[in-house]
Amino acid sequence: MQDQLLAGRYRLVRQLGEGGMGEVWEAQDETLGRSVAVKLVSKLAGGGHRGVQARARFLREARLTARLQHPGIVTVHDLGETGAGDDQVPFLVMELVHGEPLNDVLSRGAVALPDAARWGAQISEALAEAHGAGIMHRDVKPSNIVVTPSGTVKVLDFGVARAADHHPTATADQLTQTGFIVGTPAYMAPEQARGFPEPRSDLYSLGCLLFELITGQPPFQAPDTMGHLSAHLTQEPPAPNSVSAGIPPAWDDLVLTLLNKDPDQRYLNATELARALRRLDAAPLGPFYIWTFAGKCLDVWGASTEDHTRIVQYGCHGRANQQFTLHPLGQGLYEIRTFVGKCLDVHGASTKDRTRIVQYTRHGGPNQRFTLHPVGRGLFEIRTFAGKCLDVQGANPDDHTPINQYTSHGGLNQRFRLVLVGSENLPEHLRPH
């Protein structure tokens, strides 16, 4: 199909993906001279008279979706059909979104809680826009979310599942397996599985997605479609903290509210959910112990309350001067505050290696802002405003070893584990003494 011209305007350049609905291509809009994405819905080809009706229904739904104008929703530019007779295939022309599908992000494991809160709020706001226009998504899942290079998310395929659910060649079993009628089984609301979706069904699906973002796995494990459907209909979901230790109670409450089997017991609407997620994103996280490679904790030396007190590693004793809170500032930035409300601070705002990390009264400067970068197995690099990493000086395992900033080298002494104070189910060697 490469180089094929659709509607005398859209020339297919390269295939981007393929799924149960059909294929997605990058194309060149030869009228406006821009790159676009074209979704060929080959599932709706054929079917005789009923197939014609199904394609007409799809195009009507697509026109409704095209009215949605929101930064979190992929824009539909155009639509049409290609081929003739039973070979007719409807297509959508959409903005070409650069980024990474959320399922690819999840292939590397759970994401940081602030990222989950921020992305969840953005998805909720997109759903609120669609619900306000009378459009349900019906298939909220990781592969329908793209994380853009700027760190924001866009939601794909609004209304596509609804538009395809009447095609005559699709049996109920087939549609369930491929997500045409009621969504994807691992993310499907109980009422949607029964054939009665409503806007809060999308919130349930988002709850499943959020559960996976913060724990690394969906709320229910099942070997097949029927197993997933049965779980959503009859089983109570586990608390996220029981799957991944260290998740704060506020996250448990939010996710379990979304996964309530009664829609009336979930959030009232997507707007309310977005507000709750924004509060989570803005609320302090923790307190945490910050464990080093040597099994010791970051420590405000001598439990001093004074400015310029050094941050060192020390054997974990669980007292207040080893407890830190993370305060989101937006755009992935955090202040890391000590037990006396002061901030971790790159001394003197120096950009040089071996600059010491101290506690200092909050002033909002860039040298009090840090980013967290997952490196796998629950470990993080903590980077400074200068693009360097917090570093246990000289990879020394001893008590009182200073914490400095140093150029990133990927060594174990630049990797830290954040352990929520009071967490249970930790391995014995990671439990505070």
370: Cα separation from own chain's centroid:
20
Residue range 285-430 forms a domain whose CATH class is mainly beta
Cβ 116 vs Cβ 153: under 8 Å? no
113 has a pLDDT exceeding 60: yes
Q: Quick one: CATH architecture of 5-95? A: 2-Layer Sandwich (3.30)
**pLDDT value of residue 49:** 62
The reply to whether 388 sits in an annotated binding site is no
Taking residues 208-216, what's their average pLDDT?
97
Q: Give the mean pLDDT of the chain.
A: 87
Mean pLDDT to the nearest integer, 426-433: 44
Cis? peptide before 284, omega within 30° of 0 = no
338: tokens are 């000590």
All CATH 1.10.510.10 domain ranges of the chain, comma separated, are 100-282
Residues 141-193 have pLDDT tens digits of 999 999 999 889 999 987 665 544 444 444 333 333 333 445 789 999 999 99
Mean pLDDT, range 35-64, rounded to an integer: 76
- For residues 398-427, give the mean pLDDT: 87
Domain with CATH 3.30.200.20 in the chain: 5-95
Mean local confidence (pLDDT), 130-147: 93
pLDDT number for residue 30:
96
Q: What is the pLDDT confidence band of residue 62, given thresholds at 50, 70 and 90?
A: confident
The predicted pLDDT at position 56 comes to 79
pLDDT in the model for residue 332: 79
Closest CA to 384 of 418, 347, 411: 347
List the catalytic residues.
139
pLDDT at 276: 92
What pLDDT is recorded for position 284? 82
pLDDT given for residue 58 in this prediction:
77
- Which residues belong to CATH 2.80.10.50 in the chain? 285-430
Q: Taking 50 as the threshold, does the pLDDT of residue 433 lie above it?
A: no
Say if residue 309's pLDDT is above 70. yes
Residue type, 162: R
CA-based torsion, 183, 189, 195, 196: positive or negative: negative
| Tokens matching residue 58 | 């799809």
pTM: 0.66
At residue 179, the pLDDT reads 38
Pair of tokens at residue 178: 């491929």
Q: What is the pLDDT of residues 4-29, one digit of tens each?
A: 999 999 999 999 988 766 789 999 99
What pLDDT is stored for residue 67 in this prediction?
87
Task: Report pLDDT digits (tens) over 74-100.
Answer: 999 998 888 766 678 888 899 999 999
Q: How far apart are CA 341 and CA 329, in angstroms?
A: 16
Average pLDDT over residues 400-416: 97
Say what the pLDDT of residue 159 is.
Answer: 60
Q: How confident is the model at residue 51 (pLDDT cuts 50, 70, 90)?
A: low
CB atoms under 10 Å from CB of 224, counted, come to 10
CATH superfamily of 100-282: Transferase(Phosphotransferase) domain 1 (1.10.510.10)
Tell me what percent of the residues of the chain surpass a pLDDT of 90. Answer: 67
pLDDT for residue 6: 92
Q: Categorize the per-residue pLDDT at 339 as very low, low, confident or very high, splitting at 50, 70 and 90.
A: very high
